[in-house]
Structure 1
């Protein structure tokens, strides 16, 4: 169905008819004229580019395995075992600092010999293995505040072979994620409301299935040993970062810190490379679990929504500009106005023509891993889902459940919408 914004024109390269939409890039499906006017992004240094190239090879290799009838089952390869050993070594350094600090304290108790011990313990404390903290900003939902949403999460978790989550954090990102927090390893599900709002009910089930499956498919980076090692290494690297606009003394310190900083960056890069293939495999496995929970059709639909995620950002920035314009004109504001953002966002996404989805798929093929190397390109993940047998939904939601979940998220929808209007999107 053609939208009001669409019009026809001829391709300047091959003369084929183009159905153009003024809101999106005009391109030719016959010869790919103007399919990617911005060209591939090559941001980052040489290591970043090498990382993306390696990730692309891994992603295409895994896709080749599944399309040839191979298995994507989780497995511990040599690289994963080496990464695990490196993570243990990182924690071993922290243990050595604690033991050394305790030894100095006992040896020099009551005298100046205590100073080295206190210094070693002070260094070890922020490097200790620990889970992440709960976010301070944003609505964080508990079970008694959103029983139906938590019930849906629990149902999806059982299907993918894990347990549910303890808290749900709602933020303004076009994304979703899971992580462990606290000493007891409680689980936090982060739901980016802009992404949640543009999905169908079954696509939301697929999103939950994908995120929760990271706990059931052997994703090494979600394990406690590796995730805490990453956090410790990142903390070390932060301590050795150079001071901006340094004084003479600080310039000397920056120079002394250069070697350990480069060493830590190298260790982080190596650990990243060692876990890269297993992490990509985990993404494909999570997609498969998402399809099993919500249906292959819903999982593929989720991939399509992710392809046009940039359009969500454009629409929300337009909402920010609109709110600023309304404010300068002194127009009335109401309590209901912030939540209307989501209605307009859904209407915008529903109006995206099919040829824009196809363009984004072709752009993905051309660019490969242009941004995030830990995830296979979305077009490869979509192809992997379509290569396997079509799965029906195990978890099916209905209108009554959706109304209850919408009601439970009403406060969060208003809070996040107001934050987007007040602080801007992506700022």
Structure 2
């Protein structure tokens, strides 16, 4: 620290010279040192994509369709009015054909059991077929048993906020909110009656500003407003069935003649299933990307354009949020004995506030680096989502004011309703996460 005129002046932040272009590069030991002029060291790590050939194809298609749709949104194309077209019809037909195969196996299995007792072999084959049907049958989503659940009577303030966001974007609210500790959020239908469920990850929710929380709810409810055929019972079920078939027919390591024989017998059906899965992916991914962009537009309408853009930035540091939660858990678990129990108690108290403070302290320079990395890698939430940097660019088009305000009084009420879930999940993160 320098002394100027008897007053201590703050010293300049440490810096180094970029080895490529010579520009002065700020150095912060908490973050990667990189050059904004020439992108030196902007991406020192290696990409860690979802493994597998199917995921690689999905990433490639997601990037292609994502670029096309982002360009259309920037030109002012109304994706809502454009509709889904022939691809949706073909995908539904293919999905129904997949389910028809499952139904045919069930009927064949029952007939073999009922009519084949004279041979004694046919009933055995029938039981095998019915076992396969049990594995492949479409399953309705069920409420989790190990997560805090909030119903309307438990959290009237939160459900009122959700209802208001839904009304602002043209859809209804949800029947239940599932709270989990991770940096995520999702919606789906559960049960035979197709009731609506919102999964609210505290790791994400607690690090967002008030209006970014509104944007998050707008995005998730936007999936109900605009639809996503990949998450529907028919098409989504067919995708899961084909994935199960592909896993069951996967080639085994050839350690002997029997393995060679099994691999040879399953070769044709394995590649047939693979082809059907790739085809169904191609038919549905563009519509899924469209639904994602429309959900982002709903986020902007509900919470404001600035809030939706901020939400996109938070998605870039989702891994950092997870790492912070693991760090908190490991730090508490490393303290053993009676003092360790006290340390864990202290770690649970204020966990979400500490997480929000650390994520809130991430500088804009680090966000800019992550945005450039996202463009280089094609970062996305998963292999079926559009690249995050394209979503951010597309949602920046236009200037939407917030339709739903998240004021201090509402925030206090919602925080009180979430308090029991926050305490339970803080305990789970600290005590169980490192095990």
TM-score (normalised: structure 1): 0.88
Q: What is the distance in 2 between the residues matched to 1:247 and 1:142? A: 56
Q: Which residue in the other structure is 1:421 paired with?
A: 430
Do 1:75 and 1:218's aligned partners in 2 also have CA atoms closer than 8 Å?
no
Shift of the alpha carbon at 1:154? 1.9
Tell me if 1:36 matches 2:43: yes
Q: What is the distance in 1 between the residues matched to 2:321 and 2:13? A: 19
Paired residue secondary structure (1:29): coil
Shift of the alpha carbon at 1:43? 6.1
Shift of the alpha carbon at 1:108? 5.5
Tell me if 1:353 matches 2:374: no
Q: What is the distance in 1 between the residues matched to 2:19 and 2:343? A: 47
Q: What is the distance in 1 between the residues matched to 2:147 and 2:195? A: 18
Q: Which residue in the other structure is 2:207 paired with?
A: 198
Do 2:27 and 2:33's aligned partners in 1 also have CA atoms closer than 8 Å?
yes
Which 5+ residue runs of structure 2 have no aligned equivalent? 1-9
Q: Which residue in the other structure is 1:225 paired with?
A: 234
Q: What is the distance in 2 between the residues matched to 1:213 and 1:43? A: 26
Shift of the alpha carbon at 1:84? 1.2
Relative to structure 1, the CA distance from residue 311 to residue 78 in structure 2 (aligned partners, 3 Å threshold; closer, same or farther) is: same
Do 1:202 and 1:397's aligned partners in 2 also have CA atoms closer than 8 Å?
yes
Q: What is the distance in 2 between the residues matched to 1:47 and 1:367? A: 18
Q: What is the distance in 2 between the residues matched to 1:148 and 1:252? A: 62
Shift of the alpha carbon at 1:323? 0.6
TM-score (normalised: structure 2): 0.87
Shift of the alpha carbon at 1:357? 0.7
Relative to structure 1, the CA distance from residue 4 to residue 91 in structure 2 (aligned partners, 3 Å threshold; closer, same or farther) is: farther
Do 2:166 and 2:173's aligned partners in 1 also have CA atoms closer than 8 Å?
yes
Relative to structure 1, the CA distance from residue 127 to residue 67 in structure 2 (aligned partners, 3 Å threshold; closer, same or farther) is: same
Q: What is the distance in 2 between the residues matched to 1:334 and 1:371? A: 32
What do residues 51-109 of structure 1 show as CA deviations (whole Å, max 9, x unaligned)? Answer: 32332121111111122222222512333222111101011112223333454566458
Q: Which residue in the other structure is 2:25 paired with?
A: 18
Q: Which residue in the other structure is 1:92 paired with?
A: 100
Paired residue secondary structure (1:393): coil
Relative to structure 1, the CA distance from residue 319 to residue 275 in structure 2 (aligned partners, 3 Å threshold; closer, same or farther) is: same
Shift of the alpha carbon at 1:4? 10
Do 1:41 and 1:370's aligned partners in 2 also have CA atoms closer than 8 Å?
no
Q: 1:386 aligns with which of 375, 396, 408?
A: 396
Relative to structure 1, the CA distance from residue 220 to residue 370 in structure 2 (aligned partners, 3 Å threshold; closer, same or farther) is: closer
Tell me if 1:283 matches 2:292: yes
Relative to structure 1, the CA distance from residue 279 to residue 352 in structure 2 (aligned partners, 3 Å threshold; closer, same or farther) is: same
Paired residue secondary structure (2:224): coil
Q: Which residue in the other structure is 2:3 paired with?
A: none
Kindly tell me the number of residue pairs found equivalent between the two proteins: 423
Bigger Cα displacement from structure 2, 159-168 vs 273-282: 159-168
Shift of the alpha carbon at 1:117? 5.0
Relative to structure 1, the CA distance from residue 185 to residue 301 in structure 2 (aligned partners, 3 Å threshold; closer, same or farther) is: same
Relative to structure 1, the CA distance from residue 27 to residue 313 in structure 2 (aligned partners, 3 Å threshold; closer, same or farther) is: same
- The 5 Å alignment of 1:319-338 reads 319-327=328-336, 330-331=339-340, 332-333=342-343, 335=345, 337-338=347-348
Q: Which residue in the other structure is 1:79 paired with?
A: 87
Q: What is the distance in 2 between the residues matched to 1:325 and 1:121? A: 49
Paired residue secondary structure (1:169): strand
Shift of the alpha carbon at 1:248? 8.0
Q: What is the distance in 2 between the residues matched to 1:184 and 1:356? A: 45
Which 5+ residue runs of structure 1 have no aligned equivalent? none
Shift of the alpha carbon at 1:24? 0.6
Q: Which residue in the other structure is 2:16 paired with?
A: 9
Do 2:90 and 2:283's aligned partners in 1 also have CA atoms closer than 8 Å?
yes
